[in-house]
């Protein structure tokens, strides 16, 4: 099992009034990470939508450790820490510069059937795809 890693840039418009990365940007970066993770496992958001399955968020948690400033390089790690029948918990780590942990977060996502708006249970094929990035922390 593995983590998905990718880099992001810090732009001037993402800086808040205390001159570091605004807290809301982490939520945006989590969205980017979720979409990249779905692409990496072979279930893009558009593919899921075409099949009538929609991923929705249930909760988001972020712990901020170090501020990120304009000019810092950022690396994001994303993986699944728990895979349930119709939901998953996705973990995020945000590193700046020399692998300094700047923030850690998680999101719980639920899959719903677009026609019924009820939870959609993942098929065995879906589960096998997700398991590529499943690293249980229990």
Residues of the chain above pLDDT 70, percent: 99
Q: How confident is the model at residue 1 (pLDDT cuts 50, 70, 90)?
A: confident
Residue pair 57/31 in contact (Cβ under 8 Å)? The answer is no
Q: How far apart are CA 46 and CA 39, in angstroms?
A: 10
How many domains does one find in the chain?
1
Distances (CA, A) of 65 to 43, 51, 127: 32, 39, 33
Residue 1 resides in a domain: no
Mean of pLDDT values over 55-84? 97
Mean pLDDT in the chain? 95
Structural domain boundaries, residue 117: 7-131
Residue 47 resides in a domain: yes
Give the pLDDT score at 129: 92
- Any idea what the CATH number is for the domain that residue 46 is in? 3.10.129.10
Q: How far apart are CA 95 and CA 98, in angstroms?
A: 8
Give the pLDDT score at 137: 65
């Amino acid at each position: 099992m593995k983590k998905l890693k990718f880099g992001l840039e810090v732009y001037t418009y993402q800086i808040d009034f205390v001159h570091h990365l605004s807290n809301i940007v982490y939520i945006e970066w989590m969205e980017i990470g979720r979409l990249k993770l779905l692409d990496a496992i072979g279930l893009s958001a558009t593919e899921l939508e075409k099949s009538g399955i929609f991923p929705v968020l249930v909760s988001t948690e972020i712990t901020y450790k170090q501020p990120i400033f304009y000019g810092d390089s950022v690396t994001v790690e994303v993986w699944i820490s728990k895979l349930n029948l119709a939901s998953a918990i996705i973990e995020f780590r945000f590193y700046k510069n020399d692998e300094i942990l700047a923030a850690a977060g998680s999101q719980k996502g639920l899959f719903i059937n677009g026609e019924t708006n009820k939870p959609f249970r993942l098929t065995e094929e879906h589960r096998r795809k997700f398991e590529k990035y499943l690293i249980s922390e229990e």
